[in-house]
Structure 1
Amino acid sequence: MARRFLTPALAAALAPFLVTVPVSAQPVAEASLTATECQIGAYRGPDGDFVALARSGGNPNAGLRYLFRDGRRGATGDVDAPVRCQGDTVRIGDAAGTKAAGTWARIAFRETPTTFDSAGSRLSGMLIEPPGSDPRRPLVVMVHGSERSSPIGGIYGYAMAAQGLAVFVYDKRGTGASEGEYTQNFELLANDAAAALKQARAMTPDRTGRTGFFGGSQGGWVAPLAATLTPADFVAVGFGLVASPIEEDREQMVAEVRAAGLGQEAEALVNRLSQATARLLLTNFSEGYDEIDSARALLANQPWVARIHGEHSGAMLRMSNDELRRIGRARFDNLELIWDYDAVSALRRLRTPLLWVLAGEDQEAPIETTRSALLGLRAEGRPVDLYLFPGTDHGMIEFTAGPDGSRRYTRITDGYLKLLGDWMKSEARGAYGRAEHLTAQ
């Protein structure tokens, strides 16, 4: 999540949210179902349900990516796709598993491109507004994860707008049509997000009510920080961390050890490795070599060591000290990450209501420290709403596990998208799929 080296399986599973991620190879249906007869956007059924469509890279015959409100997803070119494109409508077949099968009409969003300045760079954005005018309509700025793909024309923005929200998406600096150098410096990215909200407000002076941020994954570090730089009425975070990038790496390794059933001695060894690699990172690779040599010696004869990766420590362990001195900083520390970022301190400066949604079995962003920190903030009387979806991995994606522990990712969990939309509209109540509303430690 810090630098974000996703596993291939999880990267493919997150494809519905990314415009440029290639579509997995699928059998292609008839030519009438290709992207040439589909229009990106969102389509609404008679019962208020919706399906969002967005571009994807890869095989052009696969069509567009689709995402239903309940999290079912795929490509319009799949032979079993329940979505059939018909110009300004889509035909939802019985395979959709919905009572609203039939022809759904395209929602007439108003999409307004724009540019705005932040810290000396010109950034490119898009405002998406539902039909009609409502001065109470919430406005949300979508804050990036660590991806380099453009969210403009992406499925997540349309899925939020289909729920009655005005949505502002923008290319993060150094990506898409935005100027500047790509970075993962949370302070600079938060400045950009605050500038994006200012621009979105200026574009909707009489057409919106509550305004705020949504951040997914790495955006969970950036969105709350942005809300301390500009007035905001809410912050929502999905599958983010209340931990530093160094803590994220350590927790990933501990989770790997526990998943393999290796015991407390193995946990102690990976904690020692984390301390060594942290010192390398925090001293710009000038100190920590004795410590990592010691960790290597202790781990050398462990039969399980090849299974330990973390976010960066596993790779550092397998490099020589000469390599680390020569290219370590260029490889691991070239994106201006704040390695010891104090996420709890940033949240204590936040004065706005906060929604945080956890993926119960998140391998990329293990949740133990985050859950404990958020429940602690809630116990202090801070306005924190905390939900957990069991049986989900990073991205709120459900999966089935193979005998070897590998995961086959299936769908976004039911209730997640609706929870986000309802909460931003101050309408969250009742059950959301299998979500657990966490209220006490």
Structure 2
Amino acid sequence: MRLAGCLGLPAQAGPARAGVVLVGGSGATDRDNDTFFPPLRDHLLNAGTAVLSYDKRGVGASSGDWRAATLTDLAADASAALDFLRSQPEVEAHSVGFFGHSEGGWVVLRAATARDDMPWVVTNSCPGVSPAVQERHALAHHLRDAHPGSQADVDADADAENTLALYDRLIEAGRRDADFATAMHLVDAAGRPPGLAYYRADMDEHLWTFLKRKQDHDPTPDLIGLRCPHLAFFGGQDPLVPVADSLHVLGAALCRTGRSRRATLTVEVLPEADHRLRLPGGGNGPAPGYLDKLTRWLHQH
């Protein structure tokens, strides 16, 4: 299998530089992770940090198929990217770490835990709960926003409840390793509620197999197994991630007996920010202070 991506080196001459591997979120994410990575990449380069990002398996110029992979497979891809960046003569190998956004946070936590040579890891809007719990939270938030306040009539409330009940049946079907035809029978029997399209409008057999394989991933063992400093960013108004529950999980893992003394945890919650750490009405740009907090922490480590 071949991964394709882009390597950015700071323009200024000087000694060997630190580096970061950017790992994108769920779905068919490329090296830019839609529009999220380019401003992050530019900021890191301007701060003197080398940056490598890549197309997920089967996306862009990368071979393979992410839907046929496990999170462990995706972590192996991230680890290979890390080794490539560390092999560059302009980069100080022992100062290269991971930045994982959303699902990419699960990926880099798994990759970092499997290695003894990590200086640090950064997660961005990474749920501390399982995919099944996180996606139910996101679906419920979407359904609530679709019928806000007093405008939500009895029929709309019933539709939302039916949609969430169908979601729960699909999760249980996944735990029984039900095939795609069985899953679609459940959807058809529920009348194909339109709200479910937010969960997966593009569902096919390959995606169903990937989702049921991933749905009960528990990030706690990887959090406990970390042996390096961890910076975790969250947006306080993230509609996709249960932030309070995620913070509870991170705190509980931090207090587990046997956790490495090197595995310090720094949490930054930007109160008004969303899943991509943007403010309402702020366009695609990051919230003020976000990128500065990131580079300041990286320089300290």
Distance 1:256 1:178, change over 3 A: closer
Task: Report matched runs for 1:105-254 at 5 Å.
Answer: 121-130=1-10, 131-135=12-16, 137-146=17-26, 147-151=28-32, 154-183=38-67, 185-204=70-89, 207-230=92-115, 231-254=117-140
Instruction: Establish whether residue 378 from structure 1 lines up as the match of residue 259 from structure 2.
Output: no
SS of corresponding position for 2:2: strand
Gaps in structure 2 of 5+ consecutive residues: none
Q: Which residue of 2 aligns with 1:12?
A: none
Q: Which amino acid aligns with 2:169?
A: A
SS of corresponding position for 1:140: strand
Shift of 1:200: 1.3
Shift of 1:256: 4.2
Higher normalized helix content (fraction of residues): 2
Higher RCO (Cα < 8 Å, 6 or more apart): 2
Shift of 1:170: 2.4
Distance 1:391 1:182, change over 3 A: same
Gaps in structure 1 of 5+ consecutive residues: 1-120, 317-326, 401-407, 428-441
Higher normalized strand content (fraction of residues): 1
TM-score of the aligned structures, taking structure 1 as reference length: 0.54
Between the aligned residues of both structures, percent identity stands at 26
Distance in 2, matches of 1:310 and 1:345, equals 30
Distance in 2, matches of 1:210 and 1:410, equals 29
SS of corresponding position for 2:214: coil
Q: Which amino acid aligns with 1:198?
A: D
Q: Is the 8 A contact 1:276 1:288 kept in 2?
A: no
User: For the aligned residues, what is the CA RMSD?
Assistant: 3.6
Q: Which amino acid aligns with 1:352?
A: C
Give 1 or 2 for the bigger CA radius of gyration: 1
Distance 1:337 1:138, change over 3 A: farther
Q: Is the 8 A contact 1:127 1:167 kept in 2?
A: yes
Distance 1:337 1:361, change over 3 A: farther
Distance in 2, matches of 1:349 and 1:226, equals 11
Shift of 1:252: 1.7
Aligned residues: 278
Q: Which residue of 1 aligns with 2:217?
A: 341
Shift of 1:157: 2.1
Q: Is the 8 A contact 1:253 1:309 kept in 2?
A: no
Task: Report matched runs for 1:356-367 at 5 Å.
Answer: 356-367=232-243
Q: Which amino acid aligns with 1:165?
A: T
Distance 1:424 1:337, change over 3 A: farther
Cα shift readout 1:31-86 (whole Å, capped 9, x = no counterpart): xxxxxxxxxxxxxxxxxxxxxxxxxxxxxxxxxxxxxxxxxxxxxxxxxxxxxxxx
TM-score of the aligned structures, taking structure 2 as reference length: 0.77
Distance 1:271 1:345, change over 3 A: farther
Distance 1:272 1:385, change over 3 A: same
Distance 1:142 1:337, change over 3 A: farther
